[in-house]
Structure 1
Amino acid sequence: MQAVSKVYGRGQGAVAALREVTVGIPRGSFTAVMGPSGSGKSTFLHCAAGLDSPSSGSVRLGDTELTGMDETRLTELRRKRVGFVFQAFNLVSSLTVTQNITLPLRLGGVRADRAWLDEVVHRVGLAGRTGHRPAELSGGQQQRVAIARALITRPEVVFGDEPTGALDTMTARDVLTLLREVVDTMGQTVVMVTHDPVAASYADTVLYLADGRIVDEMRAPTADAVAERMTRLGAYV
């Protein structure tokens, strides 16, 4: 992401959600993005993932320039090369666990690699649950299905938007441990927006946004250090 700005609206009513943001996310790393409400976290995620186009600047995924791509090509890129995990699990209630996980492949007309599907199911701890429907699963299990769905296409990066926001503390820790494991054991790249210092402490690096700018970066974060830094940003006053 190079000098990315995003402005919503025009004239007097224009709002700058991102201002000249430049950052590189290393492959195989876990990055948390934090900041006060309205700091630009969601806009950052949407621009980085190709869900929204910046007003100016450049966004790249690997060697691919996203800026200026038409919606058809962006949709194909997101389906093949990007995974998403949201606060609301966004599962299809009528489909089984296996059918939910493989949905991105089916949408792209690709057959599931059985060995990879089995490995992903095993990694996220859903073996024995594959025939269940979402209503038969706990919240934590549903989020595991969502993570498996994000991993099934072997994406270059998985973006999480408050992925533990709807979970209780113990379940959230299980899900965060799983995200940490997919980075450490599978070399996956994960970028997660969160408001929770404990969640951020699972990351390698925390990026702090305020007023649309990256104002700080913390490596090897701890929950206490993250909370203290957020207080100085005015988020927890």
Structure 2
Amino acid sequence: MTRADTPPAVELSRVTKRYGGGEQAVTALDRLDAVFPSGTFTAVMGPSGSGKSTLLHCAAGLDRPTEGAVTIDGTSVTGLSERALTRLRRARVGFVFQAFNLVAALTAAQNVALPLRLAGRRPAAGEVTAMLAEVGLADRAGHRPSELSGGQQQRVAIARALVTRPAVLFADEPTGALDAASGRDVLRLLRESVDRHGQTVVMVTHDPFAAAHADRVLFLADGRVVDELSGPAGAPEIAVRTARLEAGVPS
């Protein structure tokens, strides 16, 4: 549960991101403001080209905005060197992607331990096993990705993202490559990480059912937040808002 005196996990203030220059310049984000409070689950939706992925990349420190400010866990990203930004991401940011991005040659346990080792920290005894147990895969610790189903691989990816106890976990279409049952398992894990551990989750998705697991939904169009649903919202209501947005109908 987030508290009023807790600073947001991530804040974007008048963020603009342009690619290219002159007449060929493309504005992916246009003076966008967004706050992601600690301990909340936010879904980000919008038509193709609306700026969803660019928002995620700027908010996570994977890309730098052309203008505006990004703050992650109280630290301004503006002006950080690449080395300092890399350290910040390793310590305070987790990632889950549609394609899993596990290292094929490593076991599930070794994949989960990887962020700790990259940060120069040896995992404590039982730390990795405990994370795998949280996602229901303690008995698969020695299996490589090729020996796991897609849903199991994504659960390993979630354990890997959470092992550092990051300030925020970014999920980019985390159920996009999964069957319905596996997708439900992944969404349940993300929801539980918020409810049980106060994790902050920001998820880009096109799926109204996935978005219905969030505390709120932000709708993007033309690089700006143009609509928002706060509080529990069902997939049908989210689908209607999405359809209106794609049709260019004002909210």
Classify 1:3/1:135 alpha carbon distance in 2 versus 1 (closer, same or farther; 3 Å).
same
Query: In 2, are the aligned partners of 1:100 and 1:149 still within 8 Å (CA)?
Result: yes
1:68 — aligned with what? 79
Q: Tell me the amino acid that sits aligned with residue 106 of structure 1.
A: R
2:233 — aligned with what? 221
Q: Tell me the amino acid that sits aligned with residue 55 of structure 1.
A: T
1:186, 1:207 → 2: CA distance?
23
**TM-score scaled to structure 2, two decimals?**
0.92
**How far did 1:121 drift?**
1.3
**How far did 1:180 drift?**
0.3
Partner SS state of residue 100, structure 2: coil
1:177 — aligned with what? 188
Query: In 1, are the aligned partners of 2:108 and 2:141 still within 8 Å (CA)?
Result: yes
1:33 — aligned with what? 44
Query: In 1, are the aligned partners of 2:73 and 2:92 still within 8 Å (CA)?
Result: no
**How far did 1:210 drift?**
0.3
**TM-score scaled to structure 1, two decimals?**
0.97
Classify 1:138/1:235 alpha carbon distance in 2 versus 1 (closer, same or farther; 3 Å).
farther
Query: In 2, are the aligned partners of 1:35 and 1:235 still within 8 Å (CA)?
Result: no
1:132, 1:8 → 2: CA distance?
41
1:115, 1:211 → 2: CA distance?
47
Query: In 2, are the aligned partners of 1:4 and 1:57 still within 8 Å (CA)?
Result: yes
Query: In 2, are the aligned partners of 1:36 and 1:235 still within 8 Å (CA)?
Result: no
**How far did 1:29 drift?**
0.4
Matched ranges for 1:3-82 at <5 A: 3-82=14-93
Q: Unpaired segments of 5 or more residues in structure 1?
A: none
**How far did 1:113 drift?**
2.3
Does residue 212 of structure 2 align to residue 201 of structure 1? yes
Query: In 1, are the aligned partners of 2:130 and 2:138 still within 8 Å (CA)?
Result: no
2:247, 2:76 → 1: CA distance?
34
Q: Unpaired segments of 5 or more residues in structure 2?
A: 1-11
1:227, 1:116 → 2: CA distance?
40
Query: In 2, are the aligned partners of 1:50 and 1:66 still within 8 Å (CA)?
Result: yes
**How far did 1:222 drift?**
1.1
Query: In 2, are the aligned partners of 1:82 and 1:155 still within 8 Å (CA)?
Result: yes
Q: Deviations over 1:122-178 (max 9, x none)?
A: 111111110111111000000000000000111000000111100011110111011
**How far did 1:116 drift?**
3.4
Q: Tell me the amino acid that sits aligned with residue 246 of structure 2.
A: G
Q: Identity of paired residues, percent?
A: 62
Runs of 4+ in 1 over 3 A off after TM superposition: none
1:102 — aligned with what? 113
2:200, 2:102 → 1: CA distance?
22
Q: Tell me the amino acid that sits aligned with residue 74 of structure 2.
A: D
Query: RMSD of the TM alignment (CA)?
Result: 1.3
1:205, 1:125 → 2: CA distance?
27
Query: In 2, are the aligned partners of 1:230 and 1:236 still within 8 Å (CA)?
Result: no
Does residue 158 of structure 2 align to residue 112 of structure 1? no
Which of 179, 200, 212 is the aligned partner of 2:223?
Answer: 212
**How far did 1:107 drift?**
1.1
Query: In 2, are the aligned partners of 1:84 and 1:160 still within 8 Å (CA)?
Result: yes
